[in-house]
């Protein structure tokens, strides 16, 4: 589904990402972990062609992400608030995304209804712009915008940030359901090892821009190895 080949990226001569080869298969849930500055967000930005690699290439379902935008029609993502259009209301924002992905009104409403518990009555019908929502609710709006299109590939950077425990549990359920129903290939990053090992089928540990461990995670078995690394 995703192939990374000899991809490097540096800023001011400091290596941010250096991945000789990585294959992510259809339907995998990949958890990306590492300390601040390990390269997680930069890697996600490269996957989404938000920044250009210094060398190498990334294929998404056989498509070179740097050469065409064809992969965008099946990719949902939320990295940070720059993905939001903050002068819109949530309803206007979701409608805008729906139009981009040719979702008609009834289908859009049906998709949004799946997130009713996650929204907790705090997102729709609030009569205010996205910029006036709390950090947690902005996070919810961004995540919903990425997931409501039923993407083949879902990329979320620190999706559990700013969310209360109930919302964190609910978004994990929603991601698992999407993966089960549609075979969505999912990549998430987080500093919370419990969330990562609860959800992921495979965990990638980054350090200084490189993937230093690629750990299968059946029934959360990666937690002990990760905990040992971060305790050093």
Residue spans of the domains in the chain: they are 2-231
With contact defined as beta carbons under 8 Å apart, do 155 and 145 qualify? Answer: no
pLDDT digits (tens, 9 = 90+) for 98-125: 999 999 889 999 999 999 999 999 999 9
Residues 6+ apart with CB under 8 A from 111: 98, 103, 148, 149, 150
With contact defined as beta carbons under 8 Å apart, do 59 and 231 qualify? Answer: no
User: What is the distance between the alpha carbons of residues 221 and 202, in angstroms, rounded to a whole number?
Assistant: 10
Query: What is the reported pLDDT for 232?
Result: 59
Rg (CA), the chain: 17
Count other Cβ atoms within 10 Å, centred on residue 61: 16
Averaged over 209-219, what is the pLDDT?
Answer: 96
Task: Give yes or no for residue 83 having a pLDDT over 80.
Answer: yes
Residue given tokens 């490189």 in the structure block? 210
Rounded to two decimals, the pTM is 0.96
User: What is the distance between the alpha carbons of residues 108 and 94, in angstroms, rounded to a whole number?
Assistant: 8
User: What is the distance between the alpha carbons of residues 63 and 65, in angstroms, rounded to a whole number?
Assistant: 6
pLDDT digits (tens, 9 = 90+) for 52-62: 999 999 999 99
Count other Cβ atoms within 10 Å, centred on residue 116: 11
Structure token digits, residue 140: 């919810």
Query: What is the reported pLDDT for 66?
Result: 96
Residues 6+ apart with CB under 8 A from 197: 31, 203, 217, 220, 221, 222, 223, 226
Average pLDDT of every residue of the chain: 96
The hierarchical CATH code for the domain 2-231 is 3.40.50.300
Task: Give yes or no for residue 201 having a pLDDT over 80.
Answer: yes
Residues 6+ apart with CB under 8 A from 153: 1, 2, 60, 61, 71, 74, 75, 76, 184, 185, 186, 187
């Amino acid at each position: 589904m995703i192939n990374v080949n000899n991809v490097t990226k540096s800023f001011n001569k400091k290596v941010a990402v250096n991945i000789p080869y990585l294959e992510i298969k259809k339907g995998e849930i990949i958890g990306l972990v590492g300390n601040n500055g390990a390269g997680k967000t930069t890697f996600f930005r490269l996957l989404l062609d938000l920044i250009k690699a210094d060398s190498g290439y990334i294929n998404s379902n056989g498509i070179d992400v740097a050469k065409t935008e064809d992969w965008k029609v099946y990719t949902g993502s939320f990295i940070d608030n720059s993905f939001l259009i903050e002068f819109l209301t949530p309803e206007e924002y979701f409608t805008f995304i729906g139009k981009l992905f040719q979702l008609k009104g009834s289908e859009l409403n049906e998709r949004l209804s799946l997130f009713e518990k996650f929204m907790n009555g705090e997102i729709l019908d609030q009569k205010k712009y996205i910029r006036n929502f709390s950090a947690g609710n902005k996070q919810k709006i961004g995540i919903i915008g990425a997931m409501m299109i039923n993407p083949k590939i879902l990329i979320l950077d620190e999706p559990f940030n700013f969310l209360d425990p109930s919302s964190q549990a609910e978004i994990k359920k929603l991601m698992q359901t999407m993966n089960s129903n549609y075979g969505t290939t999912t990549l998430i990053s987080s500093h919370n090892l419990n969330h990562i090992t609860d959800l992921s089928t495979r965990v990638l540990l980054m350090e200084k821009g490189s993937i230093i461990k690629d750990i299968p995670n059946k029934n959360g078995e990666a937690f002990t190895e990760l905990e040992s690394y971060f305790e050093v």
